[in-house]
Amino acid sequence: MQSAKISLSPQHIKLVTNADWILTKNEILLHIKTAFEDLYNWQQFIIKQRSLPADVLKPGGKISRGENYLGLPWIVLDNPRHFAKGNIFAIRTLFWWGRFFSTTLHLSGQWLQTMGQKLVNAFESLQGESLKICYSGDEWVHDINNTSYSSLSTIDRESFEKIIQEAPFVKIVAYTSITNIENSIEILMQQFEFLVTILENDS
């Protein structure tokens, strides 16, 4: 058997022989993870000021990270994070390398039934933001450029209400370009507070 050969382009060889860019990438991810930890603490402060269902707050928040969502590194902050089969209430903050930051409200099952009317009541406010919506296909697709996502501005109130009543899940996503990284935490704070305010219990 002939010995295996690794064939790399000059660009690939330049990268594989230079450890600095990997170390720099790791430093960037650590900075973002630390910023997400601070963001989590701030989210907890906001949640205490609002009135969300106690059941969804019990698990507490969680930060996760990985290297390969569609080939790219990512960091996720789930808070609140009530993930039960068919019954989800979560707000997910995502950093996706080279793509975007996003804040996603994810509701399904009993929580979509419970919170659905709040979303309908806030329809005009939701349409006033640059949001995307996903309500069919694979609910674990996070790429907002996937065909399962559409702009909320293209949906009228009657259609939105029908989606809330009939869809198995609803994901509403606020997002910003990765080029806004220096202002990203402030933007993510605004997105989170906007969504939590819509969902808080009636007084």
For the question of whether the overall pTM of this predicted structure is more than 0.95, the answer is no
Per domain, the residue ranges of the chain are: 10-199
Q: pLDDT 10s digit of each residue in the chain, 203 long?
A: 567 788 889 999 998 999 999 999 999 999 999 999 999 999 999 998 888 888 888 878 999 999 999 999 999 999 999 999 889 999 999 999 999 999 999 999 999 999 999 999 999 999 988 999 999 999 999 999 999 999 999 999 999 999 999 999 999 999 999 999 999 999 999 999 999 999 985 54
* Residues 6 or more apart whose Cβ sits within 8 Å of residue 197: 50
Task: Give the Å distances, CA to CA, from 32 to 37, 112, 172.
Answer: 9, 31, 23
Residue 120's pLDDT is: 96
pLDDT of residue 202: 53
Q: Which two tokens stand for residue 148?
A: 């399962």
Give pLDDT, residue 46: 93
Q: CB neighbours of 163 closer than 8 A, spacing ≥ 6?
A: 133, 135, 155, 170
Instruction: For 14-34, give the DSSP string.
Output: HHHT--HHHHHHHHHHHHHHH
Residue 184 near residue 147 (C-beta atoms within 8 A): no
Residue 51, pLDDT score: 81
